[in-house]
Structure 1
Amino acid sequence: MLPVIIDTELCKRDELCVHECPLMVLTVEKKGQVPVVHPKKTNYCINCGHCMAICPTGAITLSAFEGQAAEPFSKEDLPDSAAVETLIKTRRSVRKFKKKNISADEVGELIHTAAYAPSGHSAQPVSWTVLDTPEKVLELGKVVVEWMEEMVKQKNPLAEKLFLAGLVNTWKKGKDVICRDAPAVAVAWAPKLGITPQADTVIATNTLEIAAHAKGYGTCWAGYVVLAAAYSQKVLDYLGVPEGHMAHGALFLGHPAVRYRNIPPRHKSVAEEQDGKFIFRARPNTH
């Protein structure tokens, strides 16, 4: 089956799809004809959907999505730049959650939105593991702490650098500094041998974070979970990450127990011109 299907009755013969395709999968033999898949490029389509997105009549479907139609939108449907800026600036790392669960279905809606995050070569490789109860998240924390204890016993330099002994002691005193008593966690993973798996999972995680914020959920990056996953097969096994894959992003999710009312400042990068280039140099925080 051809990767791109064009409805000849709906097609306007405007060739917008031909010129938009990043891999030049579509072609026309003569002006005014319906575009077709280039016979030598039937395996080139990366299912990015640009041809569907640009078609004004909805004449195009992709075989990979079983003929699912594109969803039309207008400029009026988009938030203005001020709204987007406010959404980004008001995102916080939430570490205090209400004792109210967030279901796997609710997280699943966010994951579907995050599927629209960009990925290298449109590989769309990111899968997710969702733990949707505090008990499951707490068990994950226990597995992570077990890895930390092992690192401390081995006197691994990473243990000293990241103060893992202190984290373990705090955990044993009953304070959850690993998972923050979160009611849910979403962990993003992808094939190790993908094109850009680490970038893809991090971008998808950030996209899910923004989508969650827009819906009123609180999130916090689960850094210790991702760190432990890089070293501990037991953590990967608990998360159900298959062999040949790695977790690169994770978020705790829930209903925030606090309300933020102000946007704190950030250092503003000042452009420096160097040999015709403009350098916006970061001003990192000093701790």
Structure 2
Amino acid sequence: MTLFTIDHEKCDKDGICALECPAHIIEMTDNGPVPSVGAEEICIRCGHCVAVCPRGAFTLNFLSPEECMPVKKELALDAAHTEHFLRSRRAVRRYRDKPVPRDLFEKALGIACCAPTGSNRQEVQWLVIDNKDDVKKIAAHVIEWMRHLVKTRPELALPLNMQTLIQHWEQGSDRICRDAPQLVFAHASNEFGSAAADCHTALAYLELALPGFGLGSCWAGYVNYAVGQWPALADFLSFPENHSCHGALMVGFPKFKYFRAPKRNNPVVRYHGEQHFHKIF
């Protein structure tokens, strides 16, 4: 089966598909686009060719124009909406005592899966903990790891305020998982060099998608740190063999609303060839 077919009644032979293809496997002829030699093996299945064709003439053997979400101009963010959306995002650390419906969460997760990955491998996998008792067990594992570090590696524990976190835990305050109703982990096979970056990007997409569904999140840094250090926690989570966890989010319905966006440091940048750093105001 050929890699792609062309609707010649629609194709105007503009060559955009060939120019856009990141793998350079589309060649233009007098009859329109054709796959180059070995195209089937080289194709990274990104779908750019289908997405970029203004006339919808390009169909891959695994993707047609009709299967793609249409890009609507009226829904595109302008500069002001983009700034407001990103600047107003907050890390949520206080959650309502309410479970997250799976169907709602999975809609956001479906958006996160559109995050770019190295060579479009799309190898990010997810582990969701939506039982609150299990979330509490994970926090308890992290506390045990911290107690171990306080005793054996105080030089690591001190800068991370682990003794204080342990004390708060013993007083009934969970500063590890923040009483979140859900945790989500992103993991991938160690055979992929871009695994960490792919997971981080996917988690960032998820974090940005969640508010659209009324949900909030915060990176569970202590949990993610402990996963790679504390065997008991790794055993509890049971990631697939040869997989590493590259990040975790706490997820839930925010308990409070935010009414303003605090300032952040201005960018510090140096353009190549110049000697001085610039602060962008």
Deviates more, 1:163-172 or 1:185-194: 163-172
Is structure 2 residue 203 aligned with structure 1 residue 205? yes
Q: What is the alpha-carbon distance in structure 2 between the residues aligned to residue 272 and residue 39 of structure 1?
A: 44
Residues 108, 120 of structure 1: CA spacing in aligned structure 2 closer, same or farther, 3 A cutoff? same
Task: Please tell me whether the aligned partners of residues 58 and 69 of structure 1 are also in contact (alpha carbons under 8 angstroms).
Answer: no
Structure 1 residue 22: deviation in Å? 0.8
How big is the shift at 1:207?
0.9
The answer (yes or no) to whether the contact 1:87–1:214 under 8 Å persists in 2 is no
Report the equivalent of 1:80: 78
Q: Aligned letter for 2:111?
A: T
| Maintained 8 Å contact 1:61/1:70 | no
Count residues in correspondence. Answer: 281
Mapped pair 1:182 → 2:180 = yes
Residue equivalent to 1:21: 21
Q: Secondary structure at the match of 1:228?
A: helix
- SS of 2:158's partner is helix
Q: Which residue of 1 aligns with 2:239?
A: 241
The residue type paired with residue 244 of structure 2 is M
Which segment is superposed worse, 87-96 or 34-43? Answer: 34-43
Secondary structure at 1:35 match in 2: strand
Please list the CA deviations of residues 88-110 of structure 1 after superposition, one character each: whole Å capped at 9, or x if unmatched: 11111111111111123222111
Paired residues for 1:151-166 under 5 Å: 151-155=149-153, 157-166=155-164
8 Å contact kept, 1:131–1:186: yes
Match of 1:261 in 2: 259
Q: Which amino acid aligns with 1:24?
A: H
Question: Secondary structure at 2:203's aligned position in 1?
Answer: helix
Q: Deviations over 1:154-178 (max 9, x none)?
A: 3364223323233223212211110
Q: 2: CA distance between counterparts of 1:10 and 1:187? A: 44
Q: Is the 8 A contact 2:17 2:53 kept in 1?
A: yes
* Residue identity matched to 2:71: F
Offset of residue 39 of structure 1: 2.0
CA gap of 1:86–1:196, structure 2 versus 1, over 3 A, is same
* Closer, same or farther: CA 236–59 of 1 in aligned 2, 3 Å: farther
Partner in structure 2 of residue 143 of structure 1: 141
Q: 1:274 to 1:237 in 2, by over 3 A?
A: same
Residue in 2 that maps onto 1:252: 250
SS of aligned partner of 2:42: coil
| Change beyond 3 A, Cα 1:271–1:145 | closer
Look up the SS of the partner of 1:98 in the other structure: coil
Distance 1:238 1:213, change over 3 A: same
- Residue from 40, 43, 46 that aligns with 1:45: 43
Distance 2:203 2:160 in 1: 23
Question: How far apart, in 2, do the equivalents of 1:239 and 1:167 lie?
Answer: 22
| Cα 1:27/1:265, change in 2 over 3 Å | same
Native 8 Å contact 1:129 1:240 kept in 2: no
- Cα shift at 1:252: 0.8
Q: Which residue of 1 aligns with 2:34?
A: 36
Runs of 5+ in structure 2 lacking a partner? none
1:62–1:68: 8 Å Cα contact kept in structure 2? no
Unaligned segments of structure 1, at least 5 residues:
283-287
Distance (Å, rounded) in 1 between the aligned partners of 2:44 and 2:27: 16
2:187 partner SS: strand
Identify the residue that residue 285 of structure 1 maps to in structure 2: none
- 1:278, 1:210 → 2: CA distance? 34
**What is the identity percentage for the equivalent residue pairs of Structure 1 and Structure 2?**
35
Q: How far off is 1:10 after superposition?
A: 4.4
Q: Distance in 2 between matches of 1:174 and 1:5?
A: 63
Superposition pairs of residues 49-64 of structure 1, within 5 angstroms: 49-64=47-62
Q: TM-score, normalised by structure 2?
A: 0.89
C-alpha contact (below 8 Å) 1:126/1:188 kept by paired residues: yes
Structure 1-normalised TM-score?
Answer: 0.87
> What CA distance in whole angstroms lies between the structure 2 residues aligned with 1:244 and 1:270?
38
User: Structure 1 residues 163, 277: closer, same or farther in 2, change over 3 A?
Assistant: same
Please state how far the C-alpha of 1:236 moved relative to its aligned partner.
3.0
C-alpha RMSD over aligned residues: 2.6
- Secondary structure of the residue aligned to 1:109 is helix
Query: 1:94, 1:219 within 8 Å by CA — same for their partners in 2?
Result: yes
Aligned twin of 1:109: 107
Asked if the contact 1:221–1:252 (Cα under 8 Å) also holds between the matched residues in 2, the reply is yes
